[in-house]
Amino acid sequence: MAATADPRVAFQKVLSTLYDRPIQISDAPKFEPTFSKPAALAVYVTEGDAVTGLLVCSMPAAAYLGASLSLLPKPVAEDCIKKGTLDDNLLENFREVANICASLFADQIAARAHLQKVVPKCTAAPADYKALMASPRRVDLGITVPNYGDGIVSIRLPKV
- Summarize pLDDT for 12-34 with one digit per residue, the tens: 888 988 898 888 899 999 999 99
Confidence of residue 5 (pLDDT cuts 50, 70, 90): low
**Is 1 part of a structural domain of the chain?**
no
Helices then strands (H, E): number in the chain? Answer: 6, 6
**Is 2 part of a structural domain of the chain?**
no
DSSP string over 98-154 = HHHTHHHHHHHHTS--EEEEEEEEESS--GGGHHHHT-S-EEEEEEEETTTEEEEEE
Average pLDDT over residues 115-125: 92
**Is 38 part of a structural domain of the chain?**
yes
Task: Provide the domain limits for residue 141.
Answer: 7-156
Instruction: Identify the residue with better confidence: 107 or 19.
Output: 19
**Is 23 part of a structural domain of the chain?**
yes
**CATH number of the domain enclosing 93:** 3.40.1550
How many domains are there within the chain?
Answer: 1
- DSSP-based three-state secondary structure for 32: coil
**Is 146 part of a structural domain of the chain?**
yes
Confidence of residue 113 (pLDDT cuts 50, 70, 90): confident
Confidence of residue 120 (pLDDT cuts 50, 70, 90): very high
